[in-house]
Amino acid sequence: MILSLALVIVAGCQAISGIDFNAVLKNTLKVTSSEGKQSVELKLLLNEEAFEGMSEEEASLLKLFSNFKLQLDSVKVQDASHASYAGKLVLGGNINIGFSIKQSDTTAVIEVEGAKLPIVLDVSGSGLGSMLGTAELDADAAAGPDEEALTAIGKEVMDSATDFFINNLPNPDKLSVNTVQEPINGVNTSLFHVKAELSGTEIWAWVKKYVDVLANDHDGMEKFVKQIVTIVSSHPELWEETGVNPFEQTGLDMPTTEDQIKEATDELMAAIVSLQDELKALEEESAEDLKQIFNDDSSIKAELYVDSKLDIRKQAVDVTFKPSEQALFPLEGLVLHMESEMWNVNGNVKADAPVIPDAAITSDQLDSLQGYQVLRMFDTKSAAYALLQQLHIGKQTVELSVDYGRYPAIVTPKYVTIVPLRTVAEELGATVKYDKKTKSVTVYDEATNTTIVLKDGSDKVKVNGKAATWSFVAKSVDGALYVAGRDFANALGAKVHWDDSYGSDTFVIDREVS
């Protein structure tokens, strides 16, 4: 939908060669089901100077993510709640990770190539709210109008109340329309081929022209407000939650509907005029800065293929952004390419239904995993595993300031740094248990399959059953058991160092687990 909106805005909305672009835009917003394929590719234009002083690993990562492509080979949208997607993620032009997503109104199942288990998400109202941390908001929203009612109202608004913003869209100078035969899903189809292009300089002129046209169309704005008021006032269920319907209030001091329409129209027109003034001021005060951004090296080029029903069936957009100076250093600019093809528009589409297997991982479980546990979900020979390793997802870091925090690192008079055992262990994903009978503490680290047993007041420990003596006794401080930091880290396969880059001496424990 966003791609289609961008295309129609670029093409403008004045009818040309039999195409009513106003209707095209409205049809785009009314698509409820379809089949198709889509892709989005982003290329970052890197300045070679950016690599100076970089490590080989940093340069490799920068190059990897400078070429990103999301390719959806199969898109089936059944309705607002049921859809399925299959495609691949391509990074750096050579890393390919296939995936599929199958979604219903309650569940989504995600399968990633190389993953040992699929991921199951609860996408029902309460489940999604819990996942996003908005469960209470979702509960409050449930008391208001239901989703279908709001969708219906939205369609009414789109059908009758958007002409003010759509009809006033200006056409670019470089616009052509031809009739062609173009294959859609392998079937030759008669289509209108629309080509439009705007340079960066022309984009700025287009924006100013659009705002100027809106600012001079008071009658159009008033008609728009009247249509919105008519639609909203015909749905009293919108106001049931508040208990007050502003369109049913009567009394000597209450504004009439006509007064409300006039006030809203004046306020909206004032906002557009204010935007108009801001654009003029920006042009006067920051002319050189604007030229750097809106220049002839930047552009939007768009092609779309429209059928006789005025549905967009195929489209491609190329956006190039190259500022005149190095405002984006280490980037010289970026190129975005988007394309899509659609068939069976608003037809009877059956999306692939999600099936929850016996063995799967839920979103809650995924959220609680350590990085190394996520890494171990993938086959070691898969592209996804290699990518996660390159991103160092298995790296773990515990930082303990000597000045801040409830349980800081403590440097003893013998210059041995001691650390809170439970804090460090749990941040690394290990478990800590206390045995009342033996008064011993057991730490089990799944990542390295290491078991450490020790007691308060003793420097004697057992690491995987082997006796050892640490450089400081285990000691309770403010209710927390502290142990020798370097010895504890070594037992867990970690390294330690000091960092004062944040203005405070910080004891850092880090390791990377695969």
pLDDT tens, residue by residue, 474-485: 999 999 999 999
- Tell me which residue of 261, 164, 262 sits closest to 213, measured CA to CA: 164
Residue 510 backbone dihedrals phi, psi, to 5 degrees: -140, 155
pLDDT at site 449: 97
Question: Considering the entire predicted model, what is its pTM?
Answer: 0.80
32 secondary structure, DSSP code: -
pLDDT at site 363: 85
CA 34/CA 57 separation, integer angstroms: 43
Low-confidence winner among 110-114, 271-275, 487-491, 499-503 (lowest mean pLDDT):
499-503
pLDDT (mean) for 200-223: 91
pLDDT at site 30: 79
Q: Which two tokens stand for residue 67?
A: 């070429």
pLDDT (mean) for 376-389: 95
Identify which has the larger pLDDT, 10 or 501: 501
pLDDT (mean) for 412-425: 95
Q: In 116-254, which residue ranges form alpha helices assigned H by DSSP?
A: 125-132, 135-142, 147-160, 163-167, 200-215, 218-233
CA angle at residue 219 from 257 to 8, to 5 degrees?
110
pLDDT at site 445: 97
pLDDT at site 132: 43
Low-confidence winner among 147-151, 388-392, 452-456 (lowest mean pLDDT):
147-151
462, 442 in Cβ contact below 8 A? no
Identify which has the larger pLDDT, 384 or 3: 384
Question: In this structure, are strands 312-321 and 331-343 parallel, antiparallel, or unpaired?
Answer: antiparallel
- Tell me which residue of 143, 144, 138 sits closest to 126, measured CA to CA: 138
Res 131 pLDDT > 50: no
Is the alpha carbon torsion for 199, 204, 209, 214 positive or negative?
A: positive
Question: In this structure, are strands 119-122 and 174-184 parallel, antiparallel, or unpaired?
Answer: unpaired
74, 351 in Cβ contact below 8 A? no
Contacts by 67-70, CB closer than 8 A, 24 or more apart: 67/41, 67/42, 67/43, 67/91, 67/92, 67/93, 68/41, 68/42, 68/43, 69/39, 69/40, 69/41, 69/42, 70/39, 70/40, 70/41
Question: In this structure, are strands 187-199 and 174-184 parallel, antiparallel, or unpaired?
Answer: antiparallel
CA 483/CA 455 separation, integer angstroms: 10
pLDDT at site 413: 93
pLDDT (mean) for 92-115: 94
Low-confidence winner among 331-335, 374-378, 386-390 (lowest mean pLDDT):
331-335
Res 458 pLDDT > 80: yes
Identify which has the larger pLDDT, 496 or 157: 496
Mind listing the pLDDT tens digit for each residue in 79-92? 989 999 999 999 98
Mind listing the pLDDT tens digit for each residue in 296-353? 999 999 898 999 888 899 999 999 999 877 656 677 889 999 999 999 999 999 999 9
